[in-house]
Amino acid sequence: MAATGSLAEALVCPRCGETYSIGEVHQLCECGSPLLVRYDLEKAKDTLNRNSFHGRGANLWRYRELLPVQDDRNIVTLGEGYTPLLPLERAGKKSGIPHLYLKDEGIIPTGTFKARGAAVGVSRAKELGIRRLAMPTNGNAGAAWSVYGARAGIEVTIVMPEDAPKITRNECAATGAKLYLVRGLISDCGKIVGAGVKAHGWFDASTLKEPYRIEGKKTMGLEIAEQFRWQLPDVILYPTGGGVGIIGIWKALKELKEIGIVEGPLPRLVAVQAEGCAPIVRAYQEGKKESVFFENSKTVAFGINVPKALGDFLVLQAIAETGGCAKAVSDEQILAALGELAREEGAFVCPEGAAIYAAAKALREEGWIREQDKVVLLNTGAGIKYPDTLNVSVPYLEKDAAL
Amino acid sequence: MAATGSLAEALVCPRCGETYSIGEVHQLCECGSPLLVRYDLEKAKDTLNRNSFHGRGANLWRYRELLPVQDDRNIVTLGEGYTPLLPLERAGKKSGIPHLYLKDEGIIPTGTFKARGAAVGVSRAKELGIRRLAMPTNGNAGAAWSVYGARAGIEVTIVMPEDAPKITRNECAATGAKLYLVRGLISDCGKIVGAGVKAHGWFDASTLKEPYRIEGKKTMGLEIAEQFRWQLPDVILYPTGGGVGIIGIWKALKELKEIGIVEGPLPRLVAVQAEGCAPIVRAYQEGKKESVFFENSKTVAFGINVPKALGDFLVLQAIAETGGCAKAVSDEQILAALGELAREEGAFVCPEGAAIYAAAKALREEGWIREQDKVVLLNTGAGIKYPDTLNVSVPYLEKDAAL
């Protein structure tokens, strides 16, 4: 079926309920909460069903109706989405989870799931007439917004800690973004961007400060549902930094359920963090609705080094409402899991992706994951983007050597 | 339509015409030429048409009938293929080629087109019962065969020059391949592998020494045809090192034409090389049927630094029969083209991919490419795999700075 138009009808605040027009530029709600896009799901019930998406393009725009872009001509795309869902037979056997799957977000422009948020976020920025945007980043999000910004012809300013991965630096600089490296942390970068936004009128594209990135991330949930032929898995594990992905997946599945395309309980959503930066896990364990800034955070999984996320309360709500949990793993577990997935499955994932495999193994040992559960590991990026994570030791040969 | 089985029926030598059984392990023909897979195209005429592939999985296995794997259970996959075909409007305007497209092979497992050859090659190795294989590599092919070998449970030995990209080294080591670094060139690695093959009975997976890698690469041609709705483009530019891709695309299009799925003249195929390593271009200019070893080769586009390719005569034949050409560009042109594509289109390609954009611009200036031509640039890999190609200079800020 050919796609019809977007069914987005308003922006709504998940905290205070205030609504805003979809036709105007908005950032946060006046109450300080992120805004979410609301769709006309009644109309969706009449127009969408399980067969609607069959045979459409192999990218996230196949879910056109459930995305916020109003006019097709504003779509800025590099072919992102509809990433592979791979069975992990050997790792499943090894971990006691026979129905184990990997949703591999490494197979996407820029090599990480950040491309989804950037594709939809930049498309909406273009649609709303935004000419200049800015954001702080630990690397991958800035790279993705630079790349899509270049494709859209939007001026992008990126402020990044000096120790962010060199590859992401290259992506920003090559695509013509105004890139600055800060001798400090991402929180320092955030302050510099915040001041710049006020001084220069840039659009603030920081995580959850604009409402459309999450709609791009949402498509991971739509794809998982479709790739399982609308029979939802039991558990989805997600590496949680800012948390936009897990919130997006949760939103996607709720929308599909309300439309009637999926049935039954939603998958139990698991927020995975590193022991060196586990604010969500702490809040979950203490039964709190918000997290507390995690001091002196440090982990090999750079992408989930987020001491306090703006959307933390939504992540905790997603966990609570789906019967999920939050789980922390050590850097040692992460690196061991990375090697095991690579050797057993040929899946060379990023450290954040490795963290969820480590968490799945631990949760299976604890009995929280049951043997019959259908479990999805969401790998957020390609291992090739992290050349410094592994320190391999390789034998050298002279050119006339024999093996 | 659900896929039916493989229509592969024999291996045939393109030089002397000798045929071999598809059910046995073969490497080169006795005459020294690479072997090609022949399909039962008469049967294909009865069973395949333009609609056959609609709605199938978004990966290269959608062309199941035109691939050599006999039993589905032997398919070793990480979800490779069906990569995006992107219009390049701004670069098209800039270069005077309004109908310019990028087939982006960066969006694939391991980040380069080598995944296609490895997926099909390793699947066939598994099917034929091969337990141990070996190859010399400049990096990306070795990485891909290591990754797919791990997924198949096949032991892989990789021999690589010490100055091959560190990322590819990581991919081999992480996935458990037996990796050796040689203080020498790929030709030295080839000698070491050749001796090891004789001594240990490994399967020799060197470029074109086994007949199935090319079948994987072929799917790039099938996809281009399908993504243009079976209306073939006028020109396809391909960065040519070993040349397997261009031979594969040519083979694919000839098969589709014989089946009757495409009509009219084939696209003019252009082999693009670097001025610092241009054996095919030299042979083309001199009207020769084979190339001569290119001494002291050197280029920033590491992946096409191949001084003498085993399949050179097939590349030259593909060019001649399609009315194509061979074109060399300088490293300066390559780096300039890389920046231009990134800034204008958000397409952060590998140096080899940038070379073809540079070549397209030059051929348009010379009038060889006409304004109305529909032109495809085949980018063989993601820019993120080449962190050392670009040397970006970025301003530093103190953490209390203002922009």
Are B149 and A384 inside 8 Å of each other by CB? Answer: no
Q: Are A87 and B76 in contact (CB under 8 A)?
A: no
Count CB-CB contacts under 10 A for residue A93: 12
Per-residue pLDDT at A1: 60
Q: What integer best gives the mean pLDDT of chain B? A: 96
Please give the ipTM for the structure prediction. Answer: 0.95
What crossing angle do the helices spanning A213-227 and A244-259 adopt, rounded to 10°?
Answer: 60
Are A149 and B175 inside 8 Å of each other by CB? Answer: no
Whole-angstrom distance, CA of residue A155 vs CA of residue A134 = 8
Structure tokens at B207: 């470029």
- Residue in A59, A85, A387 closest to B166 by CB: A387
Residue B225: C-alpha distances to residues A299, B231, B267 (Å)? 46, 7, 10
Q: Are B202 and B133 in contact (CB under 8 A)?
A: yes
Whole-angstrom distance, CA of residue A105 vs CA of residue A268 = 20
- Provide the shortest C-alpha distance from residue B45 to chain A (in Å): 23
- Residue in B175, B181, B343 closest to A394 by CB: B181
- Residue in A76, A106, A403 closest to B180 by CB: A403
Parallel, antiparallel, or unpaired for β A178-183 and A132-136? unpaired
Question: Is pLDDT at B302 greater than 90 in this prediction?
Answer: no
Q: What is the mean pLDDT of the segment spanning B19-26?
A: 96
Residue (of B330, B325, B318) closest to B354 by Cα position? B330
Per-residue pLDDT at B166: 87
User: Looking up tokens 């898995």, which residue turns up?
Assistant: A233
Q: What is the mean pLDDT of the segment spanning B171-186?
A: 94
Q: SS3 for B259?
A: helix
For A85-112+214-385, give the CATH class: alpha beta
Per-residue pLDDT at B1: 60
Are B195 and A402 inside 8 Å of each other by CB? Answer: yes
Q: Nearest residue of B to residue A177 by CA position? A: B343
Residue (of B201, B144, B207) closest to B171 by Cα position? B144
Residue B179: C-alpha distances to residues A225, B82, B162, B175, B294 (Å)? 39, 30, 11, 10, 27
Per residue of chain A (403 residues), what is the pLDDT tens digit? Answer: 667 799 999 999 999 999 999 999 999 999 999 999 999 999 999 999 999 999 899 999 999 999 999 999 999 999 999 999 999 999 999 999 999 999 999 999 999 999 999 999 999 999 999 999 999 999 999 999 999 999 999 999 999 999 888 899 999 999 999 999 999 888 899 999 999 999 999 999 998 899 999 999 999 999 999 999 999 999 999 999 999 999 999 999 999 999 999 999 999 999 999 999 999 999 999 999 999 999 999 999 988 998 999 899 999 999 999 999 999 999 999 999 999 999 999 999 999 999 999 999 999 999 999 999 999 999 999 999 988 888 888 999 998 899 8
Parallel, antiparallel, or unpaired for β B203-204 and B178-183? unpaired
Contact list in B for residue A398 (CB cut-off 8 A) is 182-184
The dihedrals phi and psi of B161, each to the nearest 5 degrees, come to -60, 150
- The CATH number of B85-111+215-385 is 3.40.50.1100
Q: What is the mean pLDDT of the segment spanning B47-53?
A: 95
Q: SS3 for A253?
A: helix
Residue (of A104, A86, A54, A3) closest to B56 by Cα position? A54
**Chain B interface mutation, best of A83, A114, A183, A384, highest count of B Cβ atoms under 10 Å:** A384
Q: Is A40 exposed, middle or buried (0-12, 13-18, 19+ CB in 10 A)?
A: middle
Q: Nearest residue of A to residue B179 by CA position? A: A394
Whole-angstrom distance, CA of residue B223 vs CA of residue B226 = 5
Structure tokens at B14: 């393109």
Residue (of A75, A381, A229) closest to B57 by Cα position? A229
Residue A86: C-alpha distances to residues A227, A368, A394, B151 (Å)? 10, 23, 30, 11
Q: Per-residue pLDDT tens for B274-294?
A: 999 999 999 999 999 999 999
Parallel, antiparallel, or unpaired for β B203-204 and B8-12? unpaired
pTM reported for the whole predicted model: 0.96
- Residue in A79, A90, A395 closest to B107 by CB: A79
> Residue A373 region, left (φ>0) first, then alpha (ψ -120 to 50), else beta?
beta
Query: What are the DSSP calls for B21-90, one per residue?
Result: -TTS---S-TTSPPPEEEE-HHHHHHH--TTTTTTS-SSGGGGGGGS---SGGG---SS-----EEE-HH
Q: Nearest residue of A to residue B178 by CA position? A: A394
Are B106 and A109 inside 8 Å of each other by CB? Answer: yes
Residue B68: C-alpha distances to residues A375, B8, B62, B117, B214 (Å)? 33, 5, 13, 12, 11
Contact list in B for residue A349 (CB cut-off 8 A) is none
Q: Nearest residue of A to residue B186 by CA position? A: A399
Q: Per-residue pLDDT tens for B199-218?
A: 999 999 998 899 999 999 99
- Residue in B108, B159, B403 closest to A180 by CB: B403
Whole-angstrom distance, CA of residue B376 vs CA of residue A212 = 32
Q: What is the mean pLDDT of the segment spanning B156-164?
A: 93
Q: Nearest residue of A to residue B108 by CA position? A: A107
